[in-house]
Structure 1
Amino acid sequence: MIADLHIHSTASDGRLSPLEIVRQAEDAGLSHIAITDHDTVAAHLELREAGIIDNSMSKLSIIPGIEFSTDLPWHEVHILGYFIDIDNMKLRDQLEVILNDRLRRSRTMVEKLIQLGYSIDYDSVLEFAGQAMAVGRPHVAKVLVENGYFKTVSEAFDVLLAKNGPAYVPHYKLTPEQAIRLIEQAGGIAVLAHPGLIGDDNLVLNMVKAGMRGLEVFHPEHDQAMTSRYLDIANKYNLKITGGSDFHAIPGRYPEKLGEFTISAALVDTLSM
């Protein structure tokens, strides 16, 4: 039995719809998945509406999850939440605040780009976002690419949209401590996402002290040395051990399909204990 506990859908910045993710996961033989969209539980609401969640006929177990982008002075820290109550009112109210700020931010970025001489409009950004609740820089970048200003989304980021770039706009984020508390209030388990990408193991330890209950040890961008180091830290501090593909279904970005990067489903059992 194999699992993938870090997946993004079209509800945030992924390329596959929640239903497409479920079908691909089933075809790949996964037993457990967690859809962990940025700052939204819209994918889980959609799957529940479609009768997919808690379907006793399916061999696939879908864990309700989320990924919060939180802010520190010199770092962005991503925090995963597992087994959350998607109907929790404190959670839903906070997500509404974040959603509204994302929309404000996207509109302001478009205004900046127009001032810089780029002929794009806000409606096009929303059109590219589609069903995404977490509208953000990737959608703005796609419009820039579509309009012929750049060849790739990465190029648009590098030139304009990266932090402190000419069209960058900061947005409202929770602190790591606030995200941890919110996940706990929603009955979930807070896990530090891809610690190797933070670049500061002292900060990782600070997050453990702040109340983090798990560590994403297994991730496509963790090399063997990182994986061993974070496995040691997880064991030393009695943390839950998780992992996932950080799947977005982006061509050329590993993994391109679900099932190419997996973890043992036995870790799901220890996560829920």
Structure 2
Amino acid sequence: MRERADASLDADARVSEEARRKALKRELKKHGKAKKDARAIIREEAREHAEASKAIRRETDRAIKSIAAQAAVDAANTAAQTAARAAQEAARHLSPRYSAPCPVAGRTALGSWDLHNHSVFSDGSCTVDELIAGARAAGLTRIAITDHDCLSQLSFIRARSRELSFPVLAGVEVSAHDPATGRKVHVLGFGLEATADGSGPVERLVAPTLFARTATSLWQAWVLKREDVEFSGHRLSFDEVYDVARASTGIYKQHIMEALTRRPHTDPDYQFCYQCWFKGDSPANRTVEYPTAVEAVRAIREQGGVPVLAHPGQTKSWAIVPELVGAGLMGIEAFHPDHGPVEEGLAFELAERLGLFVTGGSDYHGKYGSSPALGTSFVCPEEAGSKVEGLFASEAALS
């Protein structure tokens, strides 16, 4: 009996142990599944966190780029506003010398004057006769031809003006710079005559510029030829460059572009190639040194001429206006294709404060420039006033 009882107890113990083991296995399986589930959850959470981090980085990068771009725009605007405020502040400390004309309401090119244009004598594509014909077609009654950095063409322009019975101011545009900012400054000169030996103050000032520009342009043409540059299968020829520039007093990049592309300045392919060939890291990128703007104004006055500040809004040269007035500046170009109402208003304010007359012009270069036609910008006779009228009257005595 005792043996049966002991055997029964052993059997029960084995069953109990087996049940305990099975239960333990079930628990271990449950625990293992829970661990797997936990690991899966952790992996999923890690993946989601990584995706969220990438999204945050993308958004942050976009925000930083946006902020940087806006900062650049703000900096440029601030610089322009600072220059304009400096000119305005300087003007407010000076008493007006005379009552300058005001902008005319309902402005129209008909009967108006376009006093800033370029011909084949510099970097324009039109002859003097073509400019006069274009002025007549636009309804203008007077124009000025203001080629760059040379006076030798003035007598020819005056002769054609008289032969074609159309009033033309034969002038010059002197390339200069502001030492304080490094910016270019252009000064128009009217009422000038070339001397027989080129010894006049303006001629002596611009002669190095004209020589350096021509030398630089020829070097640039040589570089492009060395680099075997081509446009639509056409390669540069020095003979073509000379032929395009044959009437000019110097050789310009515009002549190289015309010889190579035969496209107008406004053509997108022209613009792209111009930037690639002459700007940035191009091996043909080289600049020309100019005299100071004060030197330009003084030279024009010393040679008996009338200096006018050209397109101050384009070159951001507002701040130097009071200094130029001190050197003898007499006029300011208010109307220009690159001027809007703000620039026009500021030019009239400076004219009022500093005793300047106002002019306006298209800065027309024919197919070599961005201005589409004569009469794009102009000054009405009432805006120009008696001082500009006097310039045309004095042309009759000039040769």
Match of 1:225 in 2: 342
One-letter amino acid matched to 1:265:
P
Instruction: Quote how far apart the aligned CAs of 1:209 are.
Output: 3.9
Instruction: Quote how far apart the aligned CAs of 1:179 are.
Output: 1.3
Structural mapping, 1:149-188, within 5 Å: 152-162=269-279, 165-188=282-305
Q: Tell me which of 238, 249, 261 is aligned to 2:355.
A: 238
CA–CA distance in 1 between the matches of 2:223 and 2:341? Answer: 42
CA distance 1:54–1:200, shift in 2 (3 Å): closer
CA–CA distance in 2 between the matches of 1:239 and 1:163? Answer: 38
CA distance 1:72–1:129, shift in 2 (3 Å): same
CA–CA distance in 1 between the matches of 2:339 and 2:297? Answer: 23
Match of 1:66 in 2: 172
One-letter amino acid matched to 1:224:
P
SS at structure 2 position matched to 1:24:
helix
Q: Which deviates more from structure 2 when the two are superposed, residues 230-239 or residues 135-144?
A: 135-144
- Structure 1 unmatched ranges of 5 or more: none
Q: Which deviates more from structure 2 when the two are superposed, residues 68-77 or residues 188-197?
A: 68-77
CA–CA distance in 1 between the matches of 2:369 and 2:288? Answer: 29
Instruction: Quote how far apart the aligned CAs of 1:163 are.
Output: 6.7
Root-mean-square deviation over aligned CA pairs: 2.8
CA–CA distance in 2 between the matches of 1:231 and 1:192? Answer: 13
Match of 1:37 in 2: 147
Q: Which deviates more from structure 2 when the two are superposed, residues 233-242 or residues 70-79?
A: 70-79
Answer whether contact 1:11 1:42 (CA < 8 A) is retained.
Answer: no
**1:15 pairs with 2:135:** no
One-letter amino acid matched to 1:12:
S
CA distance 1:164–1:70, shift in 2 (3 Å): farther
CA distance 1:144–1:62, shift in 2 (3 Å): same
Instruction: Quote how far apart the aligned CAs of 1:37 are.
Output: 0.8
Instruction: Quote how far apart the aligned CAs of 1:229 are.
Output: 1.4
Instruction: Quote how far apart the aligned CAs of 1:166 are.
Output: 2.7
CA–CA distance in 1 between the matches of 2:204 and 2:303? Answer: 12
Q: Tell me which of 98, 102, 120 is aligned to 2:209.
A: 98
SS at structure 1 position matched to 2:283:
coil
CA distance 1:268–1:7, shift in 2 (3 Å): farther
CA distance 1:27–1:167, shift in 2 (3 Å): same
Q: Tell me which of 383, 386, 389 is aligned to 1:269.
A: 386
Whichever of the two has the greater Rg, that structure is: 2
CA distance 1:161–1:187, shift in 2 (3 Å): same
CA distance 1:107–1:251, shift in 2 (3 Å): closer
SS at structure 1 position matched to 2:115:
strand
**Residues 105-134 of structure 1, C-alpha deviations (whole Å, 9 max, x = no match):** 122112322343425343332222231213
Answer whether contact 1:105 1:169 (CA < 8 A) is retained.
Answer: yes
CA–CA distance in 2 between the matches of 1:78 and 1:252? Answer: 16
Instruction: Quote how far apart the aligned CAs of 1:260 are.
Output: 4.0
**1:214 pairs with 2:336:** no
Bigger strand fraction:
1
Instruction: Quote how far apart the aligned CAs of 1:81 are.
Output: 0.7
CA distance 1:190–1:109, shift in 2 (3 Å): same
Q: Which deviates more from structure 2 when the two are superposed, residues 178-187 or residues 218-227?
A: 178-187
Match of 2:47 in 1: none
Match of 1:109 in 2: 220
Match of 2:90 in 1: none
Match of 1:259 in 2: 375
Q: Which deviates more from structure 2 when the two are superposed, residues 80-89 or residues 232-241?
A: 80-89
Q: Percent identity?
A: 28
Q: Tell me the TM-score normalised to structure 1 length.
A: 0.84
CA–CA distance in 2 between the matches of 1:123 and 1:72? Answer: 36
CA–CA distance in 2 between the matches of 1:165 and 1:124? Answer: 22
Q: Tell me the TM-score normalised to structure 2 length.
A: 0.60
Match of 2:244 in 1: 128
CA distance 1:225–1:237, shift in 2 (3 Å): same
The number of residues matched between the two structures is: 266
**Residues 29-82 of structure 1, C-alpha deviations (whole Å, 9 max, x = no match):** 32221100111235433334xx43445x82x22112110111345211111111
CA–CA distance in 1 between the matches of 2:385 and 2:278? Answer: 37
